Amino acid sequence: MRPLTLSRLLAHCAILSAVLFVVVVIALKLGAVPVSLYGLGHDLLRVLFRQTSQLSSEYQLIIFDIRLPRILLGIFVGASLSVAGASFQALLRNPLADPYVLGVSSGAAVGAIIGLVIEPHLALSPAVAALLTPIGAFLGAALTVTAVYFLGLRQGQIDSGTLLLAGIITASFLQAIIMFFMSTLTGGNYRGMAFWMMGELSTPPQRIVSLILRFGFFLSAAAIYTTASDLNLLLAGEKEAMHLGVDVRRVRLVVYIAASLLTGLAVSVSGAIGYVGLLVPHVMRLLFGSDHRILLPTAAFGGAIAVVVADTLARTVVSPSELPVGAMTAIAGAPLFLYLMRRRLA
């Protein structure tokens, strides 16, 4: 018998944050403009000691104004998607659940686009207008997950196969709606939108939006984490969990709202990056076990690492051009999804 202890949890998180740090340093170094590791270390130290005046302006621009914000964005987006994925998997009792597969990301995208489309028609101050996209994305995500949940019910029980089909069909329906909105756009906007739909991190969000993303992540992740041990029991079924003292309705409500918020926020800044929420929790389960008290934090780190790595690859493999990061995650994620699906059928 070796139950989870706080020290083991912290040790695993420390290892993962070290890995994340290394990945961030490598991501800062790689890119169309080469940066030496020595120069990078030097500059990072200077920034830490607040001697920013000694930085060369060129470096400062590339490292601190372009690459670092993008990496930070990737960290929060990855962590959000991964925690949302792990939560949906527990709540829906489906190891193949993920915001992308369930259509929640598409729902968030529709919400975000509606926010973009109606924004010019409302006389709003710029700060409020910037919030329309994330709010729309959250509402889109929440509505979609509710719809998919009810479509996936069979005689009052969640049916795995029905749920996934409902998610996939809902996603394709929502994609069609997105196409409808996109057809109203012109040239440059269209390409931007197409990239955004595939998932990309190259457009930095407005300051207020990235603040909301960070704040929202910590708030939602903390809310989900308070239910971590309840989620362990929910895996055994809602009835079982209820008999072990879990307030199933409360847990379901908290986790649905928080996971929809995570998905909505991530999608509103980065588009629909697929498979992170699916792939990362599975890898973490293999490494650290399926106890949500350790799975949720490690999944957050893992998601951050995965998206930063994928985005670094996306902007370097066809350099100086770029791939959408969603294309990278799909290349790795889709085969893994199929593998997991086949293994479960066997």
Partner 1 sequence: MSSFARSPASAAARPIGDAGDFNSDIRLSVEQVSYAYSANPTQAPLFTLEATRFQARPGEIVAIVGPNACGKSTLLKLIAGSLEPLSGRVLLNGFVTHALPHRTRGQRIAMVQQESPLLFPSRAWEFVLQGRHPYGRTLRFETEEDILIARNALAQVGAEHLTDRFMDQISGGEKQRVILARALAQQPLLLLLDEPTLHLDIGAQVDLLETLRRLASANRYTVVVVTHELNLAGQYADQVALFQKGKCLRVGPPATVFQRELLEQVFQTPLTVELGSSGRPRVNMPSAK
Residues near partner 1, by CB under 8 A: 1, 3-6, 93-95, 225-226, 228-230, 232-233, 235-237, 239-240, 242-247, 285, 290-291, 293
Question: At which residue do the structure tokens 């259509």 appear?
Answer: 103
Residue among 20 and 224 whose Cβ is closer to partner 1 = 224
Burial class (CB in 10 A: 0-12, 13-18, 19+), 71: buried
Min. distance of Cβ 110 from partner 1 in angstroms?
A: 30
**Rg of the chain on CA atoms, in Å:** 20
CB 126 within 8 A of CB 149: no
Min. distance of Cβ 336 from partner 1 in angstroms?
A: 16
DSSP 272: -
Min. distance of Cβ 1 from partner 1 in angstroms?
A: 4
Residue among 290 and 312 whose Cβ is closer to partner 1 = 290
Min. distance of Cβ 94 from partner 1 in angstroms?
A: 8
Residue among 230 and 322 whose Cβ is closer to partner 1 = 230
Residue among 4 and 40 whose Cβ is closer to partner 1 = 4
End-to-end CA distance of the chain: 30
Whether omega before 95 lies within 30 degrees of 0, making that bond cis, reads no
**How far apart (Å, rounded) are the C-alpha atoms in residues 188 and 195?**
11
Min. distance of Cβ 3 from partner 1 in angstroms?
A: 4
Residue among 211 and 222 whose Cβ is closer to partner 1 = 222
How many other CB atoms are there within 10 angstroms of residue 133's CB atom? 25
Question: At which residue do the structure tokens 């971590």 appear?
Answer: 228
Rounded to 5°, angle at Cα 213 from 144 and 287: 80
Residue among 149 and 288 whose Cβ is closer to partner 1 = 288
153: helix, coil or strand?
strand
Min. distance of Cβ 100 from partner 1 in angstroms?
A: 20
Min. distance of Cβ 341 from partner 1 in angstroms?
A: 14
Q: Are strands 157-158 and 153-154 parallel, antiparallel or unpaired?
A: antiparallel
Min. distance of Cβ 278 from partner 1 in angstroms?
A: 14
Strands (E), 53-169: 153-154, 157-158
**How far apart (Å, rounded) are the C-alpha atoms in residues 89 and 282?**
10
Lookup: tokens for 294: 């350790």
Min. distance of Cβ 203 from partner 1 in angstroms?
A: 37
| Packed helices 248-270 and 68-91: angle between N→C axes, nearest 10 degrees | 150
**How far apart (Å, rounded) are the C-alpha atoms in residues 15 and 302?**
11
Residue among 51 and 226 whose Cβ is closer to partner 1 = 226
Residue among 295 and 325 whose Cβ is closer to partner 1 = 295
Lookup: tokens for 346: 């066997």
Lookup: tokens for 175: 């994609």
Residue among 109 and 251 whose Cβ is closer to partner 1 = 251
